[in-house]
Amino acid sequence: MANDLKYALVTGASSGIGAATARALAVAGYQVVGVARRADRLAQLAGESIEVRVVDVTDQDSVNELAAYFADKNLEVIVANAGGAFDATTIVEADLASWQKSYEVNVLGTVRTIKALVPLMTQGGHVVIMGSTAGRAVYEGGGSYTAAKHAVAALAGTLRLELNGLPIRVTEIAPGMVQTDEFAVVRFHGDKEKAAKVYEGVAEPLVAEDVADAVVWCVTRPAHVNVDLLVVRPVAQAAQHKIHRVSHPK
């Protein structure tokens, strides 16, 4: 029966950290449902014992349909991972549409997901919210993203307070430099050369699988143990602005 299965939901599962997390949770024994907007990218997960559904976390009707799908299932884990950075401009030159998109996806999309699905966790569960070290420190050209991720950090902390007394854990994962196929490329509007410079000279940035491993570790702790915040960076990144880069001789 569906109720006998341990379900885990991963939003933003079509690529990067979301896809890696969906795969890692499936290996850990969960019945994973990976959701995202892009059906073609989700199709890659569908053949890996992972259920996929096209869901847009910025659309309330889409999230409502997802909640209806889980109504008769034992939802144990929610990984609210959908998000992204959409520009690298200064605040003075801010594109307000980009700021709005950043809040709509990173913040309101997370709130929609939590509001619709946490009430279904009647047997307890674990909410993992994908934050960022950008939610702990700011940097030039990152205003729309750092502001949104600071809001995500506040959201995670507030949710933990509000759910206190219920058997539901709340964890914020805050990755530092993670090299994925799309994150920086999207931020620079498809300019792969600019995207590559973000990681230039960094011998070993994190990869999506490193963050997925952190998610699985958190959700597989004993039920009375809550990891409030897990900050994970590559060794080369001591802080947001302190990154060791290896210069390559010409």
- Which residues, at least 6 apart from 90, have a Cβ–Cβ distance to it below 8 Å? 140, 141, 143
Please indicate whether residue 145 is annotated as part of the active site: yes
Catalytic residue among 7, 69, 145, 199: 145
For tokens 């199709």, name the residue.
Answer: 43
Report the alpha-carbon distance of residue 210 to residue 137 in Å, rounded. Answer: 21
Positions marked catalytic = 145
